[in-house]
Structure 1
Amino acid sequence: MSSRIRSGITVAVVLALSGVLFTVSAQLSSGDESRHAEDLSAVVAEEADRVDALTEQVAALDAEIQALSEAVPGDVPRRSAELRSEEGVVSGAWPVEGPGMRVALEDAPSSSLAIENVTADDLVVHQQDVQHVINALWAGGAEAMTLQGERVTPTSAFRCSGNIMLLHGKVFSPPYVVEAVGDPDRLQSALDSSPGVAIYQDYVDWIDLGYAAEPLDRIEIPAASGGQDVQFADVPDGTDVFS
C-alpha cells in the first residue's frame, strides 16, 4: 500500500499591479501526479502584506467601473438579465445559494508514523488531493464553489507547502473545506467516480487521513472579494454578445 502515490462574464476588475499572483483555470489543473510539498515561505512573505492594499484598489476600480457603466447612453445594446446572471456566477461576481456538498480533508494523526513504510509526507493533505476533489465537483455540475470560504473563480489558484495552503494571498491550515452548490446526488457520484479521490480514500483507510463528504440542503456561496488577475479579454470575431 505504501508504494501507491496520491496524485495531485463579466470581466471583473484588473489586478494589473499584482504580477506575481498565480493564474490557473477554475478547474485548478490536476497537476503533477506525484506527491510532493512545495516551499512557499518566500511567496507568503512577499504577498501576504499586499492583500489589503490590493483589495482597496479593487474596490476603487469597481466604483469607477460602476460610474462609467451608469454613464453609458440608453440606446447602447445591453445584455439580458439572464446573461448577466450567468456571467456573474461564472466570474464569481454574484453570490450563489442552494443545495450542494461539503467535503473536508484533514491531515492524518502523527501516530500513523508507527505504521510500516509510512513517512511524514504521507500524513499531509497535498495540493493534488484538494485539486482532485475540486475537479470532481466541477465535473459533477457544481454551479459555484468555495475553498476555505474563498470563492473559486476562473483565475483562482492555490499552493500547498507542508500543512499550509496559500490562497488569494491568505494562509490556511487544514482541515481544507470545499463547498459546492449543485445537485448533491450528481456531486456525490462525481466524487465516487474520481480516480484521484479513490486513491486518497485508500490512504484514509490505511493511515487515517481525514475525509468527510456530506450533502447539504442549503449552502451560501459569497461573491468573490477581490479582483481577478487578468489584463484584458477579447470576444472572438463574429460573436453575438447581446443575443
Structure 2
Amino acid sequence: MSRWPVQTLTAAVFALAGLIFVTSANTAKGTDIRTDSSLLKLSDLIQQRSEHNAELDESTAVVRTDIDALARRDDGSTEAEDAELDALEKAAGTTKLTGAALTVTLNDAPPDATANPGYPEPQPNDLVIHQQDLQAVVNALWEGGAEGIRVMDQRLISTSAVRCVGNTLILQGRVYSPPYRITAVGDRGDLRKALEDSTAIQNYQLYVKAYGLGWRVDEDDKVTLPGYSGPVDLHYAQPVE
C-alpha cells in the first residue's frame, strides 16, 4: 500500500485543525467567549431607554397640562359640561387624585433564604416576585373599590399592563426592580379586606411564610397619586392583506 495517501490525509487533518484554532481565536479575539458582557450591554441599554421614557413622560405631562388649560379657556362650555369632563378625567386616571391610601410592598426573598421548618427546600422561582403576584395585588385593590392605583411612580389606567421579565417589572415603557410598591386611594378598610379575601394573595402568603418573600401593608391618611401622562391612543392588530 502506498504511503502517499496516508501522508496526504494526515496533512489535511492538521490543516483542518489549524483552521479551527485560527477561526476560534478570531471569533474570541483574545477574550472569554463565555463572557456575559453582551448581556450587560443590553441591560445598560434597557436602563437608558427606561430613563429616556421617564423624561418623555415628564415632558408629555407638562405639554398636556398646557393643552388642557388652553382648551378650557373660553371654550364656551357650560359648568355642567365642565363638571362632566372633570369626572371623566378622574375616572380615566389622567388627573391627580388625593385621599386616604393603602400601600402594599412586595419584595424578593433574601439572597440566603432557606425553607422554614416544615416546608420543602425552595427552587429559584420560589424566591422572587412574579407577574401574577403583582397582578393579584392590583386586581384585589380594584376589587376593593380603589379610586386610583399607582405602581411604583406610575398611575395605572384601563389599558395599563403589569408585565414582568425575569425579576424586573416593565410598566408602560419603563423598567423597575424590587421592592415593588403598589398604592391605592380609597376606603382603607375595604381595600385591606379585599387583599385578605384574595385567593391568589393567600397563596402568595404561603411563600412569605415558607421562604421569606417580602410583604408589607402600610396605611396613609393622605396621598396624592399623579395623573397618567403617557399616550392614550389605542393600538390594535390589523390583518395582513
**Normalization by structure 1: what TM-score?**
0.67
Q: Does 1:193 align with 2:197?
A: yes
**Larger C-alpha radius of gyration, 1 or 2?**
2
Please name the residue that 2:99 is paired with: 98
Q: Percent identity?
A: 33
Shift of 1:228: 2.0
Q: Does 1:224 align with 2:228?
A: yes
C-alpha distance 57-126 of structure 1, shift in aligned 2 (>3 A): same
Kindly provide the amino acid, as one letter, of the partner of residue 109 in structure 1.
Answer: P
Q: Which has the higher helix share?
A: 2
Superposed CA offset, 1:165-223 (max 9, x none) = 11122211111001111011000110010001110011100111000112221111111
C-alpha distance 151-96 of structure 1, shift in aligned 2 (>3 A): same
C-alpha distance 198-172 of structure 1, shift in aligned 2 (>3 A): same
Shift of 1:58: 6.8
SS at match of 2:100: strand
Q: Tell me: higher relative CO, structure 1 or 2? Use CA pairs within 8 A at least 6 residues apart.
A: 1
* Structure 2: 5+ residue stretches without partners: 1-41, 237-241
Q: How many residues are aligned here?
A: 191
- Let me know the Cα RMSD of the aligned residues: 3.0
Shift of 1:86: 2.1
Where do residues 36-185 of structure 1 align in structure 2 (5 Å cutoff)? 44=46, 48=50, 51=53, 52-53=55-56, 56=59, 60=63, 63-64=66-67, 67=70, 70=73, 72=75, 74=76, 79-113=80-114, 116-185=120-189
**Normalization by structure 2: what TM-score?**
0.67
* Structure 1: 5+ residue stretches without partners: 1-39, 233-243
Please name the residue that 2:39 is paired with: none
Superposed CA offset, 1:60-99 (max 9, x none) = 5664565455464x2x667544423321222222111111
